[in-house]
Structure 1
Amino acid sequence: MIDLKQNTLLREIPNNLLQDEKVKNLAKTLQTSLDQMRDWAYKINYTLHLDKLDDAVIDHLLWEKHIGWNEGLSLATTRQQKINLIQTAINTHRRKGTPAAIEQVLEALNLPGDVIEWFQYEGEPFHFKVEVTTTNITSKTLLLIRQLVNEYKNTRSWLDFVAVKLPKNEYIEIESSKSHYPVYLPVCGEIYCEGVPGAGTKKSIEIESKNYTYPVYMPICGEIFASEVIDTW
């Protein structure tokens, strides 16, 4: 890659021409104007100083970089996450349709995840799953992650499910048509929030139909599959 700050006309002109003093002096004179234009180019390159920009400018740059609602904006809850999306926009759009693009945009959103393809877990051909490590996940966040993955995936590939890995003693909110209140499930180990990822001890959940005005906590230790809960997505 060419570094404009170090590249000069004197470096580009052949040595035999530089033996002519007129050519050499002309190159030095032109270089002064080129250096001024280069300095202005760096000043107007907002991406070099994103941390110093106003929020309104950050939002405009997201639009300029084609970061739409399903391309990460819906999950960007902090200023730093928006900056991360801007910084990685060129690479993620260039790699769109590949597992690398999905993993990179999830990383930018502080949702580190892995794309696992069908031949890695005995799935159907051209199917894949995504495993994300996060905390305090909600069913709405899961829906947004699924929309994000569908935006960046290959059009011929099919997403089976999004599996969320939660650290010990974290909670996940489960919505159910059988309840009128949020239900939080404390988890010891891993929890898969969608689909059936494969082997594992399934825990059935029976939610009573009562209208509580406070969160209900249900102790779960091991793995739980949300497909066993009638949700309202």
Structure 2
Amino acid sequence: MADVNYRALKLAQLLPPNISADPQIQAAANAVDDRFSRLIAQADKLDRFGRINEWSSQETDELAWEFHIDFYDSNAPLEQRRQLVASSMALHREKGTQAAVERLVTLLFGYGRVENWYEYGGQPGYFQVVTNNPSVTDELASQFLRAVDSVKRESAHLERVVIEKITTSMYYIGTVTHIFDKITITGRLD
């Protein structure tokens, strides 16, 4: 079966030849086509995630409420809120896993990874989050803790947040090779 572009399809094209010449039928077909094109335009708005970059601030906040995002902050930048809403279903699906914590920390703070207790020598049941965003410990600390608590396993406890500092430096390395022979002269001096 061939793909049909229903957006470009006109009812007059589908009419059988015996009635397609009737002006009243053509007028009715054109009226239906006009209404159908307006309906398609409205249906396009139903594709929420296909138009994520068009969401207004209010629409983003409403969708966050609808999708039950516990850690949502309506004062965050609009682009960050849009991404949070767009990935909310994946976060709900992954809730209670290391992947959910990593996804959320990366989304909210730019970079983050989770290390379980056995990876850094901690106590069983604990984990640490490694990030390179220093604001996690300053002004965004409460938001960070609330966000992590909303997606982590209940039996897992955040022990600490490690701030990684990544710098680029130029290192100069030089080597010298010196080869020599050792000569020993023995003799008597009188």
TM-score (norm 1): 0.50
Write the deviation string for residues 25-45 of structure 1: whole angstroms up to 9, x where unpaired. Answer: xxxxxxxxxxx9887544312
Structure 2 CA distance for aligned equivalents of residues 66 and 37 of structure 1: 30
In the other structure, the counterpart of 2:118 is 119
Residues of 1 paired with 2:153 and 2:63: CA distance? Answer: 26
Q: Are 1:101 and 2:97 matched, yes or no?
A: no
Q: Tell me, yes or no, if structure 1 residue 149 matches structure 2 residue 151.
A: no
- Tell me which structure has the larger Cα radius of gyration: 2
Query: Distance between the aligned counterparts of 1:85 and 1:167, measured in 2?
Result: 26
Moved more, 157-166 or 95-104: 157-166
Q: Cα offset for 1:163?
A: 1.4
Identity in percent: 25
What corresponds to 2:73 in structure 1? 73
Indicate how the Cα distance of structure 1 residues 101 and 38 shifts in structure 2: closer, same or farther if over 3 A, else same: farther
The DSSP-based 3-state class of the residue aligned with 1:105 is helix
Q: Where does structure 1 differ by over 4 angstroms across 4 or more consecutive aligned residues?
A: 36-41, 135-138
Contact 2:101 2:148 in 1 (8 A): yes
**Correspondence for 1:56 among 44, 55, 58:** 58
2-structure distance, mates of 1:95, 1:86: 15
How many residues are treated as equivalent by the alignment?
136
Matches of 2:156 and 2:43, distance apart in 1: 41
What are structure 1's unaligned runs of at least 5 residues? 1-5, 8-35, 169-233
Per-residue deviation, residues 88-115 of structure 1 (Å, max 9, x unmatched)? 1000111001010011112222431011
Q: Secondary structure at the match of 2:155?
A: coil
More helix as a share of residues: 2
The CA distance in 1 between the partners of 2:136 and 2:155, in whole Å, is 28
| Letter of the 1:88 counterpart | S
> In 1, distance between residues paired with 2:151 and 2:162?
17
**Per residue, is there more strand in 1 or in 2?**
1
Q: Deviations over 1:164-200 (max 9, x none)?
A: 22445xxxxxxxxxxxxxxxxxxxxxxxxxxxxxxxx
CA spacing shift, 1:167–1:137, aligned 2, 3 Å? farther
Amino acid at match of 1:47: F
Deviation track 1:111-167 (CA, whole Å, cap 9, x = no partner) reads 310110011111111111111122555523123212211221101111101112244
Relative CO higher for 1 or 2, CA cutoff 8 Å, sep ≥ 6? 2
Could you say which residue in structure 2 is the equivalent of 1:158?
A: 157
The CA RMSD measured in Å over matched residues stands at: 3.0
1:64-85 deviation per Cα after TM superposition (whole angstroms, max 9, x unaligned):
12113xx2427x6211100110
* Other structure's SS at 2:49 match: helix
Q: Alpha carbons of 1:119 and 1:81: their partners in 2 closer, same or farther (altered >3 Å)?
A: same
Task: State TM-score, norm by structure 2.
Answer: 0.61
